[in-house]
A and B are shown apart, each in its own frame.
Chain A
Amino acid sequence: MSVEELIKAAGIHEAVNDKNTGRLIINRDKVVDSNVIPGLVIDAKEIKDGVDINFILKENTIIENPVHLCFGVTDKEAIQKIIMNVDIRKNSKISLIAHCVFPNAVDVKHIMDAKVKIGKGSKYSYFERHIHNEEGGIVVIPKAYIDLEENSRFKTEFELLRGRVGTINIDYEITCGKASVMEMTTRINGRGNDYINIKESGNLVGERSRGVLTSKIAVRQNAKANIFNRMIATGDYARGHVDCKEIIQDNAVAKAIPIVEVRNPKARITHEASIGSVDSKQLQTLMSRGLSEDESVELIISGLLS
Chain B
Amino acid sequence: MEILEISNLSLSINGSHILNNLSVKFEKGLVHAVVGPNGAGKTTLGFAVMGIEGYTEYTGDILYKGESLASMNIYERAKKGITLAWQEPARFEGLTVENFIKSSIKNKGRDVVEDALEKVGMNPDEYMLRAVDKGLSGGERKKIELASILAMETELVILDEPDSGIDVASLQNIFSAIKFLKSNGSTVILITHSLEVLKRAEHAFLLCHGTIIAEGSINKISKYFGGKCIPCDHKNIPEE
Chain A contact residues: helix, strand, loop or mixed:
helix
CB nearest to B101 among chain A residues: A289
Determine whether the beta carbon of A285 is less than 8 Å from that of B94.
no
A292 / chain B contacts, CB cutoff of 8 Å: 75
Which of A286, A289, A302, A303 has the most chain B CB within a 10 Å cutoff?
A: A289
A218 to B43, CA, bound (A): 32
CB nearest to B95 among chain A residues: A303
18 of the cross-chain contacts (CB-CB < 8 Å) are A245-B93, A279-B90, A281-B86, A282-B91, A285-B89, A287-B73, A288-B50, A288-B74, A289-B152, A290-B78, A290-B106, A291-B75, A293-B73, A302-B94, A303-B95, A303-B96, A303-B99, A304-B94
Given known A-B contacts A280-B53, A290-B106, A291-B103, A300 and B86 have beta carbons under 8 A apart: no
Q: How far is the CB of A218 from the nearest CB of chain B, in Å?
A: 11
Q: How far is the CB of B89 from the nearest CB of chain A, in Å?
A: 7
Q: Does B131 contact A (CB under 8 A)?
A: yes
Q: Does B236 contact A (CB under 8 A)?
A: no
Q: Does B188 contact A (CB under 8 A)?
A: no
Residue of B74, B91, B131, B154 touching A287 (CB-CB under 8 A) = B74
B96 / chain A contacts, CB cutoff of 8 Å: 303, 306
Q: Does B10 contact A (CB under 8 A)?
A: no
Q: Which residues of A contact B (CB under 8 A)?
A: 216, 245, 279-282, 284-293, 295, 299-300, 302-306
CB nearest to A292 among chain B residues: B75
A289 / chain B contacts, CB cutoff of 8 Å: 78, 83, 103-104, 148-149, 152
A279 to B93, CA, bound (A): 11
A300 to B90, CA, bound (A): 11
Determine whether the beta carbon of B152 is less than 8 Å from that of A290.
yes
Determine whether the beta carbon of A303 is less than 8 Å from that of B75.
no
Determine whether the beta carbon of A306 is less than 8 Å from that of B94.
yes
A304 to B96, CA, bound (A): 10
Determine whether the beta carbon of A288 is less than 8 Å from that of B84.
yes
Which of B74, B104, B131 has the most chain A CB within a 10 Å cutoff?
A: B74
CB nearest to A303 among chain B residues: B95
B72-90 contact mask (Cβ, 8 Å, vs A): 1 or 0: 0111011100111010011
Q: Does B52 contact A (CB under 8 A)?
A: yes
Q: Does B180 contact A (CB under 8 A)?
A: no
Q: How far is the CB of B145 from the nearest CB of chain A, in Å?
A: 7
Q: Which residues of B contact A (CB under 8 A)?
A: 50, 52-53, 73-75, 77-79, 82-84, 86, 89-96, 99, 103-104, 106, 131, 145, 148-149, 152, 154
Top 4 nearest A-B pairs (CB, nearest first) are A303-B95, A289-B104, A303-B94, A287-B74
Determine whether the beta carbon of A290 is less than 8 Å from that of B75.
yes
A245 / chain B contacts, CB cutoff of 8 Å: 93
CB nearest to A274 among chain B residues: B93
Given known A-B contacts A280-B53, A289-B83, A290-B106, A303 and B78 have beta carbons under 8 A apart: no
Which of A282, A290, A291, A295 has the most chain B CB within a 10 Å cutoff?
A: A290
Q: A216-B94, A285-B86 are in contact. List 17 more A-B contacts (CB 8 A).
A: A245-B93, A281-B90, A282-B90, A282-B92, A284-B52, A284-B74, A287-B74, A288-B77, A289-B78, A289-B104, A290-B154, A291-B75, A292-B75, A300-B95, A303-B92, A303-B93, A306-B96
Determine whether the beta carbon of A305 is less than 8 Å from that of B73.
no
Q: How far is the CB of A297 from the nearest CB of chain B, in Å?
A: 12
Determine whether the beta carbon of B99 is less than 8 Å from that of A288.
no
A306 / chain B contacts, CB cutoff of 8 Å: 94-96
Q: How far is the CB of B86 from the nearest CB of chain A, in Å?
A: 7
B83 / chain A contacts, CB cutoff of 8 Å: 288-290
Determine whether the beta carbon of B99 is less than 8 Å from that of A299.
yes
A302 / chain B contacts, CB cutoff of 8 Å: 94-95
CB nearest to B104 among chain A residues: A289
Q: How far is the CB of B38 from the nearest CB of chain A, in Å?
A: 20
Determine whether the beta carbon of B104 is less than 8 Å from that of A290.
yes
CB nearest to B88 among chain A residues: A281
Residue of A280, A281, A299 touching B103 (CB-CB under 8 A) = A299
A295 to B91, CA, bound (A): 17
CB nearest to B53 among chain A residues: A280
Determine whether the beta carbon of B75 is less than 8 Å from that of A293.
yes
A304 to B94, CA, bound (A): 5
CB nearest to A289 among chain B residues: B104
